Amino acid sequence: MNNKDSMFARAMPLLFGVLFLIGLVAPFAVYPTFLMKILCFGLFACAFNLLLGFAGLLSFGHAAFLGSAGYVCGMLVRDVGVTPEVGIIGGTLAAGALGWVVGVLAIRRTGIYFAMITLALSQMVYFVVLQWKATGGEDGLQGVPRGHLFGVIDLSNNIAMYYLVFAVFCIGFFIIYRAIHSPFGQILKAIRENEPRAVSLGYDVARFKLLAFVLSAALAGMAGATKTLVFQLASLTDVHWHMSGEVVLMTLLGGLGTVLGPLVGAATIVSLQTELADSVGSWVTVIMGVIFVICVLLFRRGIVGELQALIQRAGIR
């Protein structure tokens, strides 16, 4: 087991290096907007996975963080007139603060109640966004300018915008990777596996859960804020519970509790939605539902999880 772990550990930097290079050259081969969408949702799913995959907490309200950060970023950039990087930071902080409020309430219960509380609170956020004039109600926040990064680099150029998104993704991914592979991440895993035991070992479980929740919310917000700049729009779909379900699906399909799974899942779902949108129209929801059911019944390890298992089995032979 130790031997195999170290094999993985040695292969990981190489894999990340290759992926990083692919990420650098990708916009010259593939439509950048499509890539940016994948990276935004990939970061969103990675942030979600930090909570479900490593702390074992199923939040069914993560759309609230994605969406509210998007709105905050949009309002900052469009109505206050700050530069894009300030907008992203502002959105991230706002989502983190909201995450703290939701987290404080939700961690008072566990398991299924936790999921229901996060869902209900995110629905509350949805209604606030819907009714508040500043967020544009049904229309959402339209015409958000991309602006100039640091006041210098013009982001209306898609390639420039792509590299900003890529940088944001890498920063977010690095933070998550560090968090998982730190003592903090180990404690989260301990809580996931056996909470009473973690308590009896003297860990302040509630505090660690809350910290994980805030971190996850803030990073989901970072994804949402960036997404608003890419599409120049913050819309109600970003705060709707369907979005909360979608990020669960991405994470589940890619591989729960794996480092790269959420990105793979996000890429798969986004590609699928893009491909299917024209051909099947409203059946997309049905297809998402079917994938959900298949994942839960037959494919619980997800794409990356299955691949890892395959490699491990090959390693044994």
Partner 1 sequence: MEIFGVPSALLGSQLLVGLINGSFYAILSLGLAIIFGLLNIINFTHGAQYMMGAFVAWIALNKLGINYWVALLFAPIVIGALGVVIERTMLRKLYKLDHLYGLLLTFGLALIFEGIFRDQYGISGQSYPVPELLQGGVNLGFMFLPIYRGWVVVAALTVCFATWFIIEKTKLGAYLRAGTENPQIVQALGINVPLLITFTYGFGVALAAFAGVLAAPIYQVSPLMGSNLIIVVFAVVVIGGMGSIMGSILTGIGLGLIEGLTRVFYPEASAVVVFVIMVIVLLVRPAGLFGKA
Q: What angle do CA 116, 40, 112 make, to 5 degrees?
A: 15
Does position 292 bind partner 1 by CB under 8 A?
Answer: yes
DSSP codes, 57-79: ---S-THHHHHHHHHHHHHIIII
**CA 273 to CA 291: how far, in whole Å?**
12
Does position 116 bind partner 1 by CB under 8 A?
Answer: yes
Does position 258 bind partner 1 by CB under 8 A?
Answer: no
In the chain, the N- to C-terminal Cα span, in Å, equals 14
9, 18, 24, 124: which one binds partner 1 (CB under 8 A): 124
Does position 296 bind partner 1 by CB under 8 A?
Answer: yes
Does position 276 bind partner 1 by CB under 8 A?
Answer: no
User: Interface with partner 1 by CB under 8 A: which range of 8-16, 110-118, 181-189, 304-312?
Assistant: 110-118
Q: Indicate the SS3 state at residue 22.
A: helix
Does position 198 bind partner 1 by CB under 8 A?
Answer: no
User: HSE on the CB side for 189, CA within 13 Å?
Assistant: 11
Please report how close the Cβ of residue 103 comes to partner 1 at its closest, in angstroms.
Answer: 12
Please report how close the Cβ of residue 27 comes to partner 1 at its closest, in angstroms.
Answer: 33
Does position 290 bind partner 1 by CB under 8 A?
Answer: yes
**Residue 243: closest CA among 123, 143, 127, 147:** 123
Q: Judged by CB under 8 A, how many residues of this single chain contact partner 1?
A: 41
Does position 282 bind partner 1 by CB under 8 A?
Answer: yes
70, 245, 254, 302: which one binds partner 1 (CB under 8 A): 245
Does position 207 bind partner 1 by CB under 8 A?
Answer: no
Whether the Cβ atoms of residue 64 and residue 125 lie closer than 8 Å to each other:
yes
**CA 143 to CA 61: how far, in whole Å?**
26
Restricting to residues 56-95, which ones interact with partner 1 according to CB under 8 A? 58, 60
Place of tokens 């298949």: 294
Q: Which two tokens stand for residue 30?
A: 């593939």
User: Interface with partner 1 by CB under 8 A: which range of 11-19, 64-72, 77-85, 288-296?
Assistant: 288-296
**CA 82 to CA 253: how far, in whole Å?**
38
- CA 52 vs CA 87, 206, 220, 309: distances in Å: 28, 15, 13, 20
Whether the Cβ atoms of residue 277 and residue 34 lie closer than 8 Å to each other:
no
12, 86, 120, 190: which one binds partner 1 (CB under 8 A): 120
Does position 237 bind partner 1 by CB under 8 A?
Answer: no
Please give the distance of CA 195 from its chain centroid, rounded to a whole number.
25
111, 137, 151, 315: which one binds partner 1 (CB under 8 A): 111
Does position 285 bind partner 1 by CB under 8 A?
Answer: yes
Whether the Cβ atoms of residue 187 and residue 172 lie closer than 8 Å to each other:
no
24, 30, 293, 310: which one binds partner 1 (CB under 8 A): 293
Whether the Cβ atoms of residue 229 and residue 155 lie closer than 8 Å to each other:
yes
128, 159, 201, 310: which one binds partner 1 (CB under 8 A): 128
Whether the Cβ atoms of residue 205 and residue 198 lie closer than 8 Å to each other:
yes
Does position 286 bind partner 1 by CB under 8 A?
Answer: yes
Nearer to partner 1, 66 or 107 (CB): 107
7, 9, 24, 112: which one binds partner 1 (CB under 8 A): 112
Does position 303 bind partner 1 by CB under 8 A?
Answer: no
Task: Provide the binding-site residues for partner 1, judged by CB under 8 A.
Answer: 58, 60, 105, 108-109, 111-113, 115-117, 119-121, 123-124, 127-128, 131, 241, 245, 248-249, 252, 281-293, 295-297, 300
